[in-house]
Structure 1
């Protein structure tokens, strides 16, 4: 298990129900130390997975959107929904 990777993914997952989050909100939601959040935000921002929005908030960046789009393009939505639709 790669702890740093896991923590980074926890930060990205925090955006599941929130479009924008502050540094403090990420600390509260993930229960990770402030310094850890700061380092991970820097890394995720540098790689394009997060971007800074207005008022010191963060939101998912283009790398996260691209990764999500790639995953969804390989997911057969019709096959998954068909049993429910019947």
Structure 2
């Protein structure tokens, strides 16, 4: 799966690794619902760090569509709310 972190680029992430991100996604969704700004920021950074850790960078010259788009590290609560689906940021 190709994952884009807004403002940073794309990473190739094995589909089997997505489950590892879902717990962080669930935490992020709960913090959004509570309006917990500091918790949201901490969890967003942990989620993005995990994607960077598990993924392999896709070369900039590669033109592949992103299957998953994650917010930039400096995204606001409102920015992230606009990207949410019923499953949160990450499907599944």
Bigger relative contact order (CA 8 A; separation at least 6):
2
Task: Please say whether Structure 1 and Structure 2 have the same fold, judged by a TM-score greater than 0.5.
Answer: no
TM-score by length of 2: 0.33
TM-score by length of 1: 0.34
- The structure where helix makes up a greater share of residues is 1
